[in-house]
Amino acid sequence: MHFELNQDQKLLWKMIREFAEEEVAPGAEHRDKHRLFPKEIFDKLAKLGLLGLPFPEEYGGGGADTISFCIVVEELSRACGSTGITYSAHVSLGGAPIHLFGTKEQKEKYLTPLCTGEYLGAFGLTEPNAGSDAGGTRTTARKDGGEWVINGNKCYITNASYAKNLALTAVTGEKDGKKEITAFIVPTDAPGFSVIDNYEKMGLHASNTTELVLEDVRVPEENILGKRGEGFKQFLITLDGGRIGIGAMAVGIAQAAYEKALKYAKERVQFGQAISKFQAIQHKLADMAMNIELARLMVYKAAWLKDQGRKFTKEASMAKLFASEMCMQVCNQAVQIHGGNGYMRDYHVERYFRDAKLLEIGEGTSEIQRNIIAREIGC
């Protein structure tokens, strides 16, 4: 197994690097400061055919592999973390569950518009009382004739303001003393469905993070995604793939922070020489470069295993855990290398630092990743 990119991947990397530098990076600071969602960027990504990149061509997708998806997430995140997380969530949380568990009819109806960029994808799992303990879901769905009536709340949901429907979990009964959790595809404009966008966040200000409130929302039986009672299992499988996206995002943000720090170290003169000449700074930069490279290879390995149809739960958790913690460390050191300037908005590294923190929390905290890895190695 080796990770030299193939010709298609190299071409994609060149194209998305140019796009990110020309279209995404220039407005990143302004969007973050004013909390402006990058809608026009996603319209352009749709025209480039990238919103359905890893999904089958028959549904308007690009038929590409997971490594290609990682390349796009990394490059978008290197330019703007908010754009990176929006793209990653659209594909790995919005589109993936429908691709993995949907019927042919559901894919035609719901996956195709996601691939063509008619709207963005979102995914409703987290609740006020069900974060790391996703099995603690309290949202309920009860059968009423040929329909299901859904009541409950979801929180910290990415992209929901720009989605026309999303997959979410609800308790549909009890089986063997345990909650029976089922996934449903729910239109966001259904009566009783509210999407509330009023969170004030530490970082990723230009991404859309919402609360969902469902009050007697009715959906037909055909809107069950996959099989009744398998919603929790389906969403865990979805999260395995999503963690690869978070890993790629961490690599991108870390790469941006490292590049800024390296450039600054070469230009900043103290005690009569560039600070890059001081061994203390050199060691910081060497560690950054090494850890970014390690994280990238871990992300690519998890993606490669996924593409081979092999088990990748452990590798996805390892990649997500290592890359997110590495990213936080790299951004911290990038601020340190910049000194007082690093604390100021004009130098960008404080934004990378704020954006990086979520990666140790979202799609399973670092603590949960260690639990998963421990389970996978047989503890």
The catalytic site residues sit at 363
User: Can you tell me the distance from the alpha carbon of 99 to that of 114, in angstroms, rounded to the nearest whole number?
Assistant: 11
Q: In this structure, are residues 94 and 122 in contact, taking their beta carbons and an 8 Å threshold?
A: yes
Q: In this structure, are residues 102 and 166 in contact, taking their beta carbons and an 8 Å threshold?
A: no
Tokens matching residue 370: 């260690």
User: Can you tell me the distance from the alpha carbon of 368 to that of 299, in angstroms, rounded to the nearest whole number?
Assistant: 18
Helix (H/G/I), strand (E/B), else coil: 38: coil
Burial 176-211, CB ≥16 within 10 A → b, else e: eeebbbbbbbbebeeeebebeeeeeeebbbbbbbbb
Q: In this structure, are residues 365 and 132 in contact, taking their beta carbons and an 8 Å threshold?
A: yes
DSSP 8-state assignment for residue 210: E
Burial 245-269, CB ≥16 within 10 A → b, else e: bbbbbbbbbbbbbbebbbebbeebe
Sign of CA dihedral 326, 338, 88, 70: negative
The HSE-up count of residue 133 (CA atoms within 13 Å, CB side) is: 7
Residue bearing tokens 């569950």 = 97
Cβ-Cβ contacts under 8 Å for 112 (sequence gap 6 or more):
59, 60
Q: In this structure, are residues 210 and 196 in contact, taking their beta carbons and an 8 Å threshold?
A: yes
Q: Which of 360, 292, 253, 291 is nearest to 24 (CA)?
A: 253
Helix (H/G/I), strand (E/B), else coil: 174: strand
Cβ-Cβ contacts under 8 Å for 222 (sequence gap 6 or more):
105, 106
Residue 111 to residues 115, 285, 321, Cα–Cα distance (Å)? 6, 43, 29
